[in-house]
Chains A and B, each alone.
Chain A
Amino acid sequence: MVKNILFVGVGGQGIILASKVLTEGLLKYGYDVKMSEVHGMAQRGGSVTTQVRFGDKVYSPLIGEGEADVVVSFEKVEAVRWINYLKKDGKLIVNDYEIYSLPVLIGKEEYPNNIEEELEKSGIEYKLFNASKIAEDVGNIKTQNMVILGALVKSLGLEELDWDGVIKDVLPEKLVEINTKAFKIGLSI
């Protein structure tokens, strides 16, 4: 059985690091893991995705439409942009945080205000919380990725692994404490 996790968001939100911590953890669990990311224009405010697949044996690094067991969105409207990748009865994790794109900023397009309402109607099992705010309270908005990762780990039921150890392995020493803290809060969401 292969599980598929799709991370989506906007350049600069720490998505790649979050998926890196996840894959290192999964490797420790003994899973075969593949992860695919698209670089390129990401840094300039475009939308970013990474795909993580794990199981006994994984061939393709790509997740197809309607195949993601969990879609993890670091930004609110990106969750909608990628919703067609969510498997029927899959789970959705959404950071309740809005990043306006240039067309929205200059008033050419609008940021939708009915996302929550539509999510409710859809019957999708979702968690919506403001990880950015939580991370700011922890002391650094950049740790939002660990808050979100914590919530993902919980919904995958993988809490028992030594994630603190994985975070220690992947992150620079001076950032470990604050990120571990953020991750723990995520685990309780």
Chain B
Amino acid sequence: MKKIMSGNEAIARGAWEAGCTFAAAYPGTPSTEILENIAQYEEIYSEWSPNEKVAVEVACGASIAGARALCAMKHVGLNVAADPLFTIAYEGANGGLVIISADDPGMHSSQNEQDNRLYAPHAKVAMIEPSDSQECKDYIKYAFEISEKYDTPILFRITTRIAHSKGVVELSEREEVGFRDYEKNVKKYVMIPGNARIKHVEVEERLKNLKELSNNTPLNRIEWGDKKIGIVTSGVSYQYAKEVFGDNASYLKIGFSYPLPDELIRNFAEEVEKLYVIEENEPYLENYIKSMGIDCVGKEIIPICGELNPDIIREAFYGNQKRELYNLDVKVPSRPPVLCPGCPHRGIFYAVSKYKDIVATGDIGCYTLGMMPPLNVTDTVICMGAGISAAIGFEKVYKMANRRGKIFGFVGDSTFFHSGITGLIDAVYNQSPIVAVILDNRITAMTGHQENPGTGKTIKGEITQVIDILSIVKAIGIKEENIRVVDPYDLKATEEAVKDAYNSSEPFVIITKQPCALIKEVQKKRSGKYLVINQEKCKKCKVCLRTGCPAISIRNNNIVIDKNMCNACTVCQQVCKFDAIEKGGNF
């Protein structure tokens, strides 16, 4: 049977067909749908882990115990999980172990553009790269086999265009492989220095065997065409190259990309007139080929920054090939992403925006948008967790430099569980009077509404224990009198909390509690309710526009609320000094 599938769906299907029984992940674009799809297969235990390090570790445990196990994350997630990656490389796999890294060239929704292919040689694990949905499915099955046969974890590397592009996939049935036996083997699974020294030698040996495989695997293949141009490529770049050159070039398509196939590369290079490397971001293949003493052209003409596409390649080879384009004489307004109408993050940012000497170290999530006008609150965003920990560094320096100001650190609920907790421990341990604001919207919203340890549900929708943020905060040692739990829709209470926090000289926590406005039950509860602006009372002071709610606009010189968009959070009503905003619908 044929089906149209995204790369992520195809990976899930492939894992299922391969008899995989265990999958763990922390969400992150463009990887999220892998686990969302896997969770739909009954045969596979699936979990959202609190972060990527935990996801990789539980998968390691599952593999050693004998299951075919998989874990998935976005590229920056692998940084968080790098520690277990480098050591599981020594221990190897029992049941097949596949670690998926979804990179994001072009940074469609990421904070950096790192190329995780570089992890494979660094961690000394085999790497596989599919170039379309069919290969996603086929290669994942192959990955499990190779992992078991060669006793190695596999780094399975995809990119946004592989993960989120759909293509035709031929489906097969599931093959039950059961569980391999586990036998205690401390030399293999306990990495004390004495064992690790032996293991490192074995790993080097394993890499030699894998190189042999790399020269012979069908994943690395030559497609002969015109031999004037020889192209070494992998992943989606292969598709772009085929699109541009068709049969007018020969291709060495790399699907097994660590260790690289020396012999194959050499043979290919000898046959073609000129050798090119087409790859996104880092010159991973190019540097390797050059290190073999083979001349090739790559980043001289293909950009390092951003994602590729056929036009960029065409231009690199043939110069400017611009087609005739339409252009209308219309001034197009920008359309930046914004916090939704009724977003629970709005109230707290609005309250904080009134203080000019608050520095806000932000974090990643919907609330990153607290940086946007008209709120303009956030000062820094680095990585998940840094919302709290960067605040501590700021606070210490502000004190040493005798600067005025108060440091507020922002994290979401999912981010708090991911890596915010340790930062808060630091604030208490090293007595940093920062204000940690934990924005508990009861969901991992940014990545498309995944459950997390605070929501009371698992990835499969089963009811589970709620991990209570307030209890954690108390247990860490934030004093009772320095904690405020507020409803961010209650602007007065929120402003009070911000004021108390601002004046405190000890570590302080504000927890804002209100579910994301896009959660289905929330939408249901508020449907038919909205606010209206009484035009007779409205003095056009525009203070309500400062909340940045996209349901409020100026039309024909009147300030109005779009009742279809309004989520009835009442924040705008509370900022209006003239009582001009009134309840409408079935409020």
Task: Give A residues with C-beta under 8 Å from B.
Answer: 10, 23-24, 27, 32-47, 58-62, 64-67, 77-78, 80-81, 83-84, 86-88, 100-112, 114-115, 118-119, 122, 124
Contacts and interface: CB of A to CB of B under 8 A. Distances in A.
A105 B165 contact: no
Contacts of B108: 38-40
Contact of A84 (B160, B327, B372, B552): B327
B4 A27 contact: yes
B329 A118 contact: yes
Interface string B14-53: 0000000000000001100000000000000000000000
B326 A122 contact: yes
Given A34-B166, A39-B109, A84-B326, A106 B335 contact: no
Nearest to A106: B545
B374 interface: yes
B330 A115 contact: yes
B318 to A, nearest CB: 14
Given A36-B166, A65-B311, 15 more contacts: A10-B335, A23-B4, A27-B2, A37-B164, A40-B29, A60-B239, A61-B239, A62-B310, A80-B332, A86-B326, A88-B323, A88-B324, A101-B335, A106-B548, A119-B328
- The 7 closest A-B CB pairs, nearest first, are A40-B109, A66-B323, A105-B553, A61-B165, A44-B337, A41-B337, A101-B335
Nearest to B548: A102
Interface centre among B331, B334, B337 (most CB of A within 10 A): B337
Q: Say whether chain B's binding surface is mostly helix, strand, loop, or mixed.
A: loop
B325 interface: yes
A59 B166 contact: no
Contact of B166 (A33, A105, A109): A33
Nearest to A114: B330
A34 B553 contact: no
A60 B326 contact: no
A46 B336 contact: yes
Contacts, number: 168
B333 A77 contact: yes
7 contacts: A39-B448, A40-B29, A59-B242, A64-B323, A65-B325, A112-B332, A112-B333
Q: Say whether chain A's binding surface is mostly helix, strand, loop, or mixed.
A: mixed
B335 A47 contact: yes
B183 to A, nearest CB: 44
B61 to A, nearest CB: 31
Contacts of B10: none
Given A77-B333, A102-B550, A118-B330, A61 B4 contact: no
B124 interface: no
A84 B330 CA distance: 13
B442 interface: no
B338 A102 contact: yes
B553 A104 contact: yes
Nearest to B557: A107
Contact of A64 (B30, B311, B328, B340): B311
Given A105-B553, A119-B328, A35 B166 contact: yes
A10 B554 CA distance: 20
B337 A34 contact: no
A156 B35 CA distance: 36
B330 A39 contact: no
Contacts of A64: 309-311, 323
A83 B4 contact: no
A24 B324 CA distance: 32
Contacts of B369: 44
B161 interface: yes
B8 to A, nearest CB: 10
Contacts of A27: 2, 4, 168
Contacts of A110: 331, 333
A81 B518 CA distance: 27
B336 A103 contact: yes
A39 B340 contact: no
A36 to B, nearest CB: 4
Nearest to B165: A61
A66 B324 contact: yes
B554 A105 contact: yes
B33 to A, nearest CB: 9
B339 interface: yes
A16 to B, nearest CB: 10
Contact of B374 (A33, A41, A44, A106): A106
B167 interface: yes
Contacts of A40: 29, 108-109
B30 A39 contact: yes
B104 to A, nearest CB: 9
A44 B366 contact: yes
Contacts of A86: 325-326
Contacts of B160: 38
A117 to B, nearest CB: 9
B337 A84 contact: no
A156 B30 CA distance: 31
A35 B340 contact: no
